Amino acid sequence: MLILVETSGKGKGHKYRHRNRGKNRNLKHLTIALAGNANVGKSVIFNELTGSNQIVGNWPGKTIERAEGKLFFNGYDVDIIDLPGIYSFSTFSMEEIVSREYIAFEKPDVVINVVDAAVLERNLFFTMQLIELEVPIIVCINQIDIAKQKGIVIDTDKLQAALGVPVVATVAVRGEGLHELMDTVIDYVENRIETRKNEIRYGFEVEKRVDMLSRLMVSKNLDLKYPYRWIAIKLLENDPEIIKLVENSSKEVVQKSYEMAREIEEIHNEPSFSVIASERYSLANQITAGAQVQSEIKISFSERLDRLATDRVFGYVISAIVIGGLLLWTFVVGNFLSGLLTEAFGFFQPVDPQVSGTLSAIIWNGAVGGLVAGITLIIPFVIPFYIMLSAIENSGILTRVAFMMDTAMHKIGLHGKALIPLILGYGCNVPAIDSTRILETRRERLLAAFAITFAPCAARTIVILGLVAVFVNVWWALALYVIDLLVIFLLGRIALKVVPGESTGLIMEMHSFKLPTLSIIAKQTWVRTKSLIYLVLPIYIFGTAFIQALYVLGILEPISNALAPLTVWWLGLPVIAGVLLIFGAIRKEFILLMLVAFYGTNLALVLTPVQFIVLALVAILYLPCASTIAVLAREFGWKSAGMITAANFITAIVLGGIAFRLLSLIY
């Protein structure tokens, strides 16, 4: 057998090692799309097959854009596409349109419909819509282990007979069944599987009208890119996008469909889209009843945990532990590791780093300083943080926290689900803003993104810890976190009044708890940290050296002086702060790194405690970093990005000035 792996990303194959790269050119090409409900394991399967490192986790909506990877299998060069999870092909969310258009227009050779074995009926509702799209499907019943824990056993043969498409059972997290899945794909494309095409048949009244509409379209010979039958059903469901599509070709068909929908409504006393959904679900129910055996079992541990996590008292305690504990953990473990590493790197003592020696010596000094600061101040906080975040993300606790905090989130115009991107924002604002796409309206996404730009991300944590915890005390560092969270809440309240648009309520699937596997946690931590090591660490090294060179050459002084009224008079900071804040806009850690570059590691000689606190406060609030502004502009346009940035800046300056004056009274 010849299997080799290569991905469009940087990931390396680990399950299916490559054996023979030379025969590449003779391979037959194949495209497979993974489609299905949210959080059923599509990305896990994708990672296993392609060796990629798509982020996985136990909450719905992680995959926001389709991902592509490659697998070489049995003489085939297979492109694998991971689509965002959706519940239906209606056209009310971007993901639904994206997935539908991909499947209908790009026509992958096979669509693997990944199905959650524990929630077969609801998943089949989508499977049936895929069958209606008349694309080649293989159903992959995933997570059969978790279903078994719930007493659910699925007879794949019966399911296969009922659906008329091949069915394969898998446990993707352990790689079980994936080989069979790929074998089935190949057998299917090589026509070795007899498939009896089953049509999803609705009730008589609906079916009659679907038929009439299809025939009308056939007679008019409309070219609509979708199957006629599927279009007819969508028209009867009053799907606005499809109505628009058909209207361009034939107004008569749309008119006819309105009439027919009305007739169905009269007969069933129910809107026709509701009739069709109900009938589709009752078919899904019949098929499920025929193929699944549900036995009574004892309440599982995960079920008990679930009850505790949504308990009216403990639920809040657990939510608080997740929201605050993640920061506290980073804080405690990071501080400890940072201490160890600082000792280990104690040999590095820059010789009067300010102005002495040759230019090249100073630059070298700066570069080594950047490296040491990166290793001792940044890495120790980031790694423990991401380990914990991956564990939290994969356990399923996030949906419970979202459930418990829904009411609180309403105070800032959002619903519980918005808490998930906010917590991800503790790591890095950029992916967090991406994941606001799990929210329904633009307004909600914008409000959530605004809140995220204040979230204490890893870079802010570094500034708080590196400046305040080390040189003032731990309590002030913790106080800064609390102030930051208060700022999020208060500004969220204000933004709510300013941003127009509609808000929706929470509708979220709650999946069972899972014990996160160590390998997934390790992998995800690595994926998230490696960019820091590959990309950011060199930036630290070169950036610090570069800035020190600028400093020595006297270029920075005029800038600092120009900003002095703001930095010195209003905020009470040293003159150099102007330059710190300018470079800090690129990456906030630079503020700390530059201070180290200019003054060495013992900053207590240069700044007073008040200055440490004010600088850290201003630094965490004053601007979203450059990458965050870029992603804001991409998602919401430059105007919104600009306004969010301005709001950040004003808040930081106002609060910084007040803090300086108040703190001066204490110290």
**Where along the sequence are the contacts to another protein (CB under 8 A)?**
87-88, 90, 92, 118-122, 125, 262, 265, 269-271, 273-274, 277-278, 281, 284-285, 288, 307, 310, 312, 315, 399, 402-404, 406-407, 415-416, 504-511
**Residue 278 or 354 with smaller CB distance to another protein:** 278
Closest distance of CB 345 from another protein, Å: 48
Q: Tell me 37's DSSP state.
A: S
Closest distance of CB 70 from another protein, Å: 33
Q: List the structure tokens of 298.
A: 């004892």
Report CA dihedral (411, 414, 418, 422) to the nearest 10 degrees: -50
- Residue type for 298, please? K
Closest distance of CB 150 from another protein, Å: 9
Closest distance of CB 405 from another protein, Å: 9
DSSP states of 279-313 as a string? HHHHHHHHHHHHHEEE---PPPHHHHHHHHHT-TT
**Residue 82 or 279 with smaller CB distance to another protein:** 279
Closest distance of CB 430 from another protein, Å: 27
Whose tokens are 């090409």? That residue is 29
**Residue 92 or 475 with smaller CB distance to another protein:** 92
**Residue 122 or 208 with smaller CB distance to another protein:** 122
Closest distance of CB 254 from another protein, Å: 17
Whose tokens are 């330059």? That residue is 579
Closest distance of CB 320 from another protein, Å: 15
* Of 515, 529, 512, 509, the residue nearest 174 (C-alpha): 515
**Residue 267 or 533 with smaller CB distance to another protein:** 267
**Residue 182 or 412 with smaller CB distance to another protein:** 412
Q: Measured between alpha carbons, how far is 169 from 115 in angstroms, rounded to an integer? A: 9
**Residue 121 or 176 with smaller CB distance to another protein:** 121
Closest distance of CB 225 from another protein, Å: 23
Q: List the structure tokens of 554.
A: 């006297």
Closest distance of CB 87 from another protein, Å: 4
**End-to-end CA separation in angstroms for the chain:** 73
**Residue 496 or 510 with smaller CB distance to another protein:** 510
Q: What is the 3-state secondary structure (H, E, C) of 417-476?
A: HHHHHHHHCCCCHHHHHHHHHHCCCHHHHHHHHHHHCCCCCHHHHHHHHHHHHHHCCHHH
Q: Measured between alpha carbons, how far is 62 from 174 in angstroms, rounded to an integer? A: 20
Closest distance of CB 250 from another protein, Å: 23
Do residues 540 and 588 make contact, with C-beta atoms less than 8 angstroms apart? Answer: no
Helix (H) or strand (E) holding 139: strand 137-142
Phi and psi, residue 377, nearest 5°:
-105, -25
Q: Measured between alpha carbons, how far is 196 from 164 in angstroms, rounded to an integer? A: 5
Q: List the structure tokens of 518.
A: 């160590």
**Residue 131 or 580 with smaller CB distance to another protein:** 131
Closest distance of CB 616 from another protein, Å: 34
**Residue 118 or 613 with smaller CB distance to another protein:** 118
Q: Tell me 88's DSSP state.
A: -
Q: Tell me 577's DSSP state.
A: H
**Residue 403 or 450 with smaller CB distance to another protein:** 403
Beta bridge partners of 34: 82, 112
Q: Which residues of 285-310 are buried (b: 16+ CB within 10 A; e: fewer)?
A: eebbeebbeeeeeeeeebeebbeebb
Task: Kindly state the greatest CA–CA separation across the chain.
Answer: 92
- Residue type for 333, please? V
Q: Measured between alpha carbons, how far is 205 from 207 in angstroms, rounded to an integer? A: 6
Closest distance of CB 410 from another protein, Å: 8
Phi and psi, residue 268, nearest 5°:
-95, -10
Q: Dihedral sign, CA of 332, 335, 336, 337?
A: positive
**Residue 513 or 590 with smaller CB distance to another protein:** 513
Closest distance of CB 459 from another protein, Å: 32
**Residue 406 or 484 with smaller CB distance to another protein:** 406
